[in-house]
Structure 1
Amino acid sequence: MDFMKAYELWSTDPFFDEGTRNELIAIKDDTKEIEDRFYRDLEFGTAGLRGVLGAGTNRMNVYTVAKASEGLAKYILSCGEEAVKRGVVISYDSRHFSPEFAQITAQVLAANGIPSKLADELRPVPVLSFSVRYFKAFAGVMITASHNPSKYNGYKVYGEDGGQVPPEAADAVLSNIEAISDIRTIKMMDIEEAKSKGLVTSFGPEIDEAFTNMLTKLVVDQEAINKQADMSIVYTPLHGSGNKPVRRILEAVGFKNIHIVKEQELPDGAFPTVSLPNPENPEALSMAIELAKKTDASLVFGTDPDSDRIGAAAKVVENGEVKYKCFSGNQMGLMLLDYILDAKKKLGTLPDKSFAVTTIVSSKLVKSICDYYGVELQETLTGFKFIGERIKIDDEFGDKHFQFGFEESYGYLSGVDVRDKDAVVAAMLICNMAAASFEKGETLADRLDHLYEKYGYGVEQTISCTLEGKEGIEMIGACMVELRQELTNCKNLAEAKNLLGGASVVAVRDYKESKRYVFTDSGVEVEEITLPKSNVLLYELGGNKGIDWACARPSGTEPKLKIYMGVYDSDEARAKASFETIKGQVEGYVKSKL
């Protein structure tokens, strides 16, 4: 069915509610907008659904959510009676229509005879992940678009291990979704009927208590918390779902002086006080920093709407002036990893066969830290589902011991009872680490300086090129095709300097083709890559420590092409100077393809 036929169906058929039809009738003369809404079905990938709210097959709405839920239901039914009996746990964040989408999910599952446990109020990603494991459910659904703008929402599916479903399961769900030829055939059980039949039940305080109790066991240094219990801390939930669980764990472990940004405390899907509810952006913490100045806070942090990401800043004094230094996702990940491993090493609680996990686009200094403590480092593709998968394989079903995982996009995880990014445990650990630093008369900024002195300086940055709509997706795809074609045509080391605008490329990892191309003076050597296929090009740039790099990768959840870079050196000034040169070459060259 072409996009105009789909538009005509949605705008005229009484199956679709009046609001949907009126919204579509209002754009009847805008062919471009109609095409963008109907040229495809909203893509269901390993991250589930994520899209702009609105009417259309390429939008997030009650009908696309119902279709995804029907596909999930058919997948669960195909997995047998035990899978059906164990059912699904459903939660949601503060975004527009999140509670409605959660309920529709439960109603579609109920119509298929599949029971679900529905959160009695908004709860974040880590609580959903924990709940799937706690209830021994077969699957989970989280209604969220994470840190995206307010016009977005999404639908994430989790497996029985509490991690996002791996590619194989996602493909099976997608196959079932694609088999639905007529969305009007999808059945939904009335919510009251579903409740009366026991097919929809709610969960709440029991999980909150169990989740908090689990987190208290992950404290690294309780003595430091006890001594620094009155440390002034500012927290902002950014209108999201982290408010209650974050405050609950901080109070449970003993922090007594926590200040909340009142204007950003309550859930609000419009996120009215920020341009983007993303703690990766320092401006998202601006109100929290202003409160910190008034309360003389030593630490500031904020969580995104589904509380899987966290951004933090620490008080510093420069030339007598109080300022707040914001840390990057890589910097915080490096500090937490070093802090956890160092504390466990000193206490004698770091077991043999310990491992940490990070992603291919995160800081390359992670290996130096892991080597120092004798801990195995595992690298995965971007996406915490892959980190969760390593925990399942090597810790839950193996003989190794997971210590910490992180990715550069401000996602962290400690412990094995949650299998996705967890800003709640990260909040507790960051506060614990800050308290330990204060015990030494230092700040987190001092801790970072010491880390760089010990392992080498790293200058890293992620640049996002946002290109929305059908044309944007096509431009991103064309850019990757052109970069890959240039790689294919490159014959030796001399020609490799043309791949990224003059940057000294020594090798390229093409994860889509599962090949690593190593350039020599006389030709190209090809090695196999064992990670799953992904549309990623990672350029190895050598450098003084031999680990400089750059990467081009389309985002899996947003209409963005991401450009990553990292430069490392034993000298800070030299690292910064080299980075600026490489950034100019790489950013300019990749953007010229868009």
Structure 2
Amino acid sequence: MPIKFGTDGWRDIIADEFTYDNVQRVACAHAQVLRQSQGQSVVVGFDTRFQGAGFARVVAETMAGQGLDVWLAAEYLPTPALSFAAVHHGAAGGVMVTASHNPPAYSGYKLKGSYGGSATPAIVAQVEAALNAPEAYSGTRGTIRPLDIRQAYYEQLDRQLDLDLLRAYRGRVIHDPMGGAACGWLTGYAEHAGLNLDLTELHGRPDPLFHGVNPEPVPQSLGELMALLAGESGQTLGVVTDGDADRVGAVTAGGHFFNSHQIFAVLTAHLYRVRGLRGRVVKTVSGSRVIELLAQKLGLEVLETPVGFKYITDAFLEGQDDESRAVLIGGEESGGLSSRGHIPERDGLLNSLLMIEAMAASGMSLPELFADIEKEVGFRHHYDRADLHLSDQFDKAALLAAAQNFEEVAGHAVEGVNTRDGVKLTLVGGASAMFRASGTEPVVRVYVEAQSDEDLRAILDEATRRVYRYDPGHQPG
């Protein structure tokens, strides 16, 4: 079975296709590309998944054998810390052994650029080509040295945050790292920065099974945190990081999930109005209409990309070379966000702290801040996503072709069709329904946004039924 790269590298099931032999093949191809770009060193890290350290060692040994000097993490670390290490050590690139938010059975190989972010589509294409046409190497072997980036990464966070505001915050914070790579990192940063936060961890013990859930900051994985906050009020906040800590989620007082679109909007307003930062707003096609409307209110240009943070990375890199194209904030529906001045990488730890900073600056809770944005832009945000697991009989091409010709969904007329990535239908009244097949799992995701919960449920139910029409193997249940 061929190795297939998705939106952020290669992921597969451990001991099935994700094996030492296949990891060695990918690492060899990656090293070949780095050498061709005159690269001399690479950083390698891993999360808390099964055999993460072993797979990382295979990557390190392979790349050293290909002539590269390797900085190898001695223990698990967050993806943003690994990406920052590439910049800090002047490496040609990086490798993070992680499957991010995927189920525990998966592991993966994330490609990172010298600039400290997701490999661009051009870099990924080069690695794929090298995988299919490997070249022999007979030069000098490189070295392997231990990577310890925690202190330097914490100092990078210092430069991105208003520490006086954070030190003034008096609310309670619970961090749920979901047993993943952020275990101990947020509490460690609070101690480093002298924040004196009332900060505790839930699921702070590293666990390759992620304490029984998929390590994704979505409501179905956060029942315990939501129950803990059900009786809380005021500025109490739960922040969540995914398996490798590049994505972020939130649960607010009362046990209410605060989704990634809402986080994106609140941080955009905070960075613009409180921190005084300017630049473009970059969102993936699956992002909320609220982001576009807010950017328009603030007089900021909006750039829309396909799904995948590597496309947002491209925009950040363009802005580094041209100040007029600088990016204020870039984000995706899945909870990955980065902002101006930081590495062009999703960072769940930084964004957790920025949410706290926004609350400290305003004296308001996240829902209160977002409610003000809804009033300002004249749009009530209701959102949900369905991940539909399909059989091998599913006809993806037929679904996407048909969706482009849908005239209505649940009685809402279609007024626009966007095929940038999958098919996104804009419906009369501001609602939208998007159909997109996963690049790493046998899944079709249906994203729906509407201005009422009633419309949301009706559109999502109808869109789901239409997907299943193209899967003869689907068994209702």
Q: TM-score, normalised by structure 2?
A: 0.90
Structure 1 equivalent of residue 427 of structure 2? 541
Label 1:153 to 1:396 Cα distance change in 2 as closer, same or farther (>3 A). same
Higher relative contact order (CA 8 A, sep 6+): 2
Gaps of 5+ in 2: 472-477
- Deviation per CA, 1:227-269, whole angstroms, max 9, x where unpaired? 32x422111221111123322333344432334346x212121
Cα distance, 1:128 vs structure 2: 1.2
Which structure has greater helix proportion?
Answer: 1
Among residues 149, 155, 160, which one is paired with 1:213 in the alignment? 155
CA distance in 2: counterparts of 1:453 and 1:350, whole angstroms? 23
Largest Rg, 1 or 2: 1
Among residues 406, 417, 421, which one is paired with 1:508 in the alignment? 417
Structure 2 equivalent of residue 43 of structure 1? 4
Q: How does 1:442-457 map to 2 (within 5 A)?
A: 442-455=364-377, 456-457=379-380
CA distance in 1: counterparts of 2:457 and 2:222, whole angstroms? 25
Aligned residue pair count: 470
Structure 2 equivalent of residue 337 of structure 1? 268
Q: How does 1:66-145 map to 2 (within 5 A)?
A: 66-79=24-37, 82-83=38-39, 85=40, 87-145=41-99
| Structure 1 counterpart of 2:277, one-letter code | L
The root-mean-square deviation of aligned C-alpha atoms, in Å, is: 2.7
Among residues 178, 189, 199, which one is paired with 2:132 in the alignment? 178
CA distance in 1: counterparts of 2:387 and 2:296, whole angstroms? 31
Contact 1:550 1:586 in 2 (8 A): yes
SS in 2 for 1:217: helix
Cα distance, 1:223 vs structure 2: 4.4
Cα distance, 1:218 vs structure 2: 1.9
CA distance in 2: counterparts of 1:482 and 1:259, whole angstroms? 46
Q: How does 1:255-274 map to 2 (within 5 A)?
A: 255-261=195-201, 264-271=203-210, 273-274=211-212
Structure 1 equivalent of residue 252 of structure 2? 314
SS in 2 for 1:306: coil
Contact 2:160 2:342 in 1 (8 A): no
CA distance in 2: counterparts of 1:445 and 1:417, whole angstroms? 26
SS in 2 for 1:332: helix
- Deviation per CA, 1:323-366, whole angstroms, max 9, x where unpaired? 2211111112111212221213xxxx334xx2121111010111
Label 1:368 to 1:461 Cα distance change in 2 as closer, same or farther (>3 A). same
Cα distance, 1:274 vs structure 2: 2.8
SS in 1 for 2:304: strand
SS in 2 for 1:388: helix
User: Is it true that 1:588 corresponds to 2:471 in the alignment?
Assistant: no
SS in 1 for 2:386: strand
SS in 2 for 1:365: helix
- Deviation per CA, 1:290-313, whole angstroms, max 9, x where unpaired? 278599981112211200112211
Contact 1:234 1:297 in 2 (8 A): no
SS in 1 for 2:107: strand
Contact 1:148 1:277 in 2 (8 A): yes
Cα distance, 1:369 vs structure 2: 1.2
CA distance in 2: counterparts of 1:63 and 1:333, whole angstroms? 40
CA distance in 2: counterparts of 1:216 and 1:432, whole angstroms? 12
- Deviation per CA, 1:454-513, whole angstroms, max 9, x where unpaired? 22212122111123xxx53x52xx1333431564xx5xxxxx526x565411232223xx
| Structure 2 counterpart of 1:497, one-letter code | E
CA distance in 2: counterparts of 1:141 and 1:587, whole angstroms? 36
CA distance in 1: counterparts of 2:384 and 2:226, whole angstroms? 23
User: Is it true that 1:299 corresponds to 2:237 in the alignment?
Assistant: yes
Identity %: 24
User: Is it true that 1:227 corresponds to 2:168 in the alignment?
Assistant: yes
Structure 1 equivalent of residue 475 of structure 2? none
Structure 1 equivalent of residue 20 of structure 2? 62
Structure 2 equivalent of residue 373 of structure 1? 298
CA distance in 1: counterparts of 2:191 and 2:468, whole angstroms? 47
Structure 2 equivalent of residue 318 of structure 1? none
- Deviation per CA, 1:5-49, whole angstroms, max 9, x where unpaired? xxxxxxxxxxxxxxxxxxxxxxxxxxxxxxxxxxx2231345221
| Structure 2 counterpart of 1:69, one-letter code | A
CA distance in 1: counterparts of 2:209 and 2:327, whole angstroms? 38
- Deviation per CA, 1:500-558, whole angstroms, max 9, x where unpaired? 565411232223xxxxxxxxxxxxxxxxxxxxxx5x11212232xxx432111111233
- Deviation per CA, 1:358-377, whole angstroms, max 9, x where unpaired? 11101011122112222222
Moved more, 92-101 or 300-309: 300-309
Contact 1:72 1:176 in 2 (8 A): yes
Following superposition, which runs of at least 4 residues in structure 1 exceed 6 angstroms of deviation? 185-189, 294-297
Among residues 407, 418, 421, which one is paired with 1:497 in the alignment? 407
Among residues 466, 484, 499, which one is paired with 2:389 in the alignment? 466
CA distance in 2: counterparts of 1:299 and 1:325, whole angstroms? 10
Contact 2:42 2:91 in 1 (8 A): yes
Cα distance, 1:125 vs structure 2: 0.9
User: Is it true that 1:484 corresponds to 2:361 in the alignment?
Assistant: no
Cα distance, 1:91 vs structure 2: 0.8
